């Protein structure tokens, strides 16, 4: 999962891009990058690390221009390192930079086509580089010295026909403008907004509406599935539907975990959806465990807090903050290896004993993926004096890997795969365990104003793009399992692979326009 942003302004955009990426930091903590355009030159800074660590004053001074894009990244499928930090760049045609959130499911096939048919070189195994080169090739086929909006839309129409999977993209064409587009299912989010300035309007595309809010932009709408929005250097905006058979099927895990609660995605308030998750969990508890015996409801911070508050209110049970979170530890879900995740849990959370002592405690989390984190947290609750520890998940059991940009672990590492609820309960050490029903989760996240389905593959194994085979999943399993990740980490430590590499400064090639 990554965060992307693009701005066409009337003054320098480097600070607005930086601030937007800071707001989107929850979407990726592995690497960050910004590229700006000024007088037909590109200026780039990207490196491993958090936004605040990648960009210092000297870097910001070297990012001039009224147009730019930015990216925060977390590694998928075991890949990491600054060689894959974004934005990525190609010099022909025009000079194009691109930032991408999602995952192509046919990237290996496309890589062969790019080399064999398009006569282009790929320098990494990143599917984002595949997207960039396909966009560049399709733009080059338009044979225009000065491309217009229709040329850009034609290239994206051709891209949609070649690419499968999930992708929300912002791309900058040097000297011309910025385009944002989503795959035909709208799996990954992308929003569009504007703000009034003295001479007119400035425009932003971003993964979540909070990025717009933070910079004083007004949300206009979500980019529709298959749609492309083109903003030229003069602030003229054009849009076009570029994909056949588009339908809105966003990833439901955005509402469960990834998105900030103050965001709106496809017309739905993430905060409201999490409130409804809590309401529905409370109803399920009353159906299945009317004599629940819960003394206190405690969230596992931070994502589950909204649902936990509403659950406690609906049950008429006390809500308490029983864990203190270290704000300087990253999100454990996106830690690259199992050993690092285990180590980080006790660094990240500490129990407040008086909230647990001699009480029957209900812990609420957004989901259970590997089960190792919640097992350790349950042990912490017992060590703090809890009499009994119950556990609720605001989402259904995670049983299948994600192929659309979330680094869900290998199937063999998903605690609920092939297990009953009772078996999972025993494995994590809870006195009883309750999962959200998928139908209730879907209902909690559904917009009343838009017809939509949801991409729920991690819960039901149904992959909406229709091209995910057993062979593909087997390959993914081999790349994602922790032994493969630990081997990569050992190679990194031994050989210094991708250690401390960075890229910044002026890209030396002029655009052709």
- Residues 6 or more apart whose CB falls under 8 angstroms from that of 488 comprise 78, 80
The Cα–Cα gap between 230 and 485 comes to 39
Whether 2 is catalytic is yes
Q: Which residues, 6+ apart, have CB-to-CB distance to 283 below 8 Å?
A: 314
Instruction: Give the residue from 360, 408, 411 showing the smallest Cα distance to 381.
Output: 360
Q: Where are the extended beta strands (E) located within 355-496?
A: 360-365, 388-393, 432-435
What is the rounded CA–CA span in Å between residue 10 and residue 12? 7
CA distance 381 to 350: 10
Which DSSP symbol is given to 139? H
Ramachandran class of 397: left when φ > 0, alpha when ψ lies in -120 to 50, beta otherwise: beta
3-state DSSP call for residue 25?
Answer: helix
Tokens of 149: 């909006």
CB 366 within 8 Å of CB 304: yes
Can you read off the two tokens belonging to residue 140? 């080059």
Whole-angstrom Cα distance, residue 421 to residue 427? 10
Q: Which two tokens stand for residue 103?
A: 């995952």
Tokens coding 488: 């990569």
Q: Which residues contact 28 (CB under 8 A, 6 or more apart)?
A: 1, 2, 3, 71, 72, 73, 74, 334
Catalytic-labelled residue, pool 2, 163, 251, 456? 2
Name the CA radius of gyration of the chain, rounded. Answer: 23
Q: Judging by beta carbons within 10 Å of its beta carbon (0-12, 13-18, 19+), is residue 146 exposed, middle or buried? A: exposed
| Distance separating alpha carbons of residues 256 and 245, to the nearest angstrom | 27
- Please identify every residue annotated as catalytic: 2
């Amino acid at each position: 999962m990554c965060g992307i942003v693009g701005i066409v302004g009337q003054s320098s955009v480097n600070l607005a891009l930086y601030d937007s990426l800071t707001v989107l930091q929850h979407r990726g903590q592995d690497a960050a990058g910004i590229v700006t355009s000024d007088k037909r030159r590109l200026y780039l800074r990207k490196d491993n690390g958090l936004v605040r660590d990648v960009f210092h004053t000297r870097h910001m001074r070297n990012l001039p221009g009224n147009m730019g894009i930015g990216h925060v990244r977390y590694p998928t499928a075991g890949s990491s390192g600054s060689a894959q930090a974004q934005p990525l760049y190609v010099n022909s045609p025009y000079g194009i930079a691109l930032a991408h959130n999602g995952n192509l499911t046919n990237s290996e096939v496309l890589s062969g086509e790019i080399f064999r048919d398009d006569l282009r070189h790929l320098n990494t195994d990143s599917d984002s580089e595949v997207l960039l080169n396909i966009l560049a090739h399709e733009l080059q086929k338009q044979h225009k010295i000065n491309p217009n909006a229709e040329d850009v839309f034609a290239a994206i129409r051709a891209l949609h026909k070649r690419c499968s999977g999930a992708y929300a993209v912002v791309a900058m064409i040097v000297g011309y403008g910025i385009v944002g587009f989503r795959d035909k299912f709208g799996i990954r989010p992308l929003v569009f907004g504007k703000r009034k300035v003295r001479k007119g309007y400035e425009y932003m595309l971003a993964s979540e509406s909070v990025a717009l809010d933070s910079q004083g932009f007004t949300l206009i709408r979500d980019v529709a599935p298959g749609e492309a929005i083109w903003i030229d250097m003069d602030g003229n905006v054009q849009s076009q539907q570029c994909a056949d058979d588009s339908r809105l099927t966003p990833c439901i895990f955005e509402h469960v975990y990834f998105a900030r609660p103050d965001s709106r995605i496809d017309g739905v308030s993430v905060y409201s959806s999490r409130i409804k998750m809590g309401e529905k969990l409370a109803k399920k508890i009353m159906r299945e465990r009317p004599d629940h015996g819960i003394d206190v409801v405690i969230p596992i911070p931070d994502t589950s807090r909204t649902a936990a508050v509403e659950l406690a209110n609906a049950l008429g049970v006390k809500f308490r903050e029983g864990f203190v979170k270290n704000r300087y530890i990253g999100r454990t879900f996106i830690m690259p290896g199992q050993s690092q995740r285990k180590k980080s849990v006790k660094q990240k959370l500490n129990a407040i004993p008086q909230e647990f002592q001699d009480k029957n405690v209900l812990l609420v989390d957004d989901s259970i993926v590997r089960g190792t984190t919640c097992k350790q947290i349950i042990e912490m609750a017992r060590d703090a004096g809890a009499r009994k520890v119950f556990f609720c998940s605001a989402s259904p059991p995670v049983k299948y890997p994600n192929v659309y940009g979330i680094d869900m672990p290998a199937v063999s590492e998903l605690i609920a795969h092939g297990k009953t609820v009772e078996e999972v309960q025993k494995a994590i050490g809870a006195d009883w365990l309750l999962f959200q029903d998928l139908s209730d989760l879907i209902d909690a996240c559904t917009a009343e104003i838009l017809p939509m389905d949801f991409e729920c593959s991690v819960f039901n194994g149904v992959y909406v793009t229709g091209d995910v085979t057993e062979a593909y999943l087997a390959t993914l399993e081999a790349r994602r399992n922790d032994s493969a990740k630990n081997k990569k980490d050992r190679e990194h430590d031994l050989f210094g692979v991708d250690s401390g590499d960075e890229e910044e400064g002026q890209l030396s090639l002029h655009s052709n326009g």
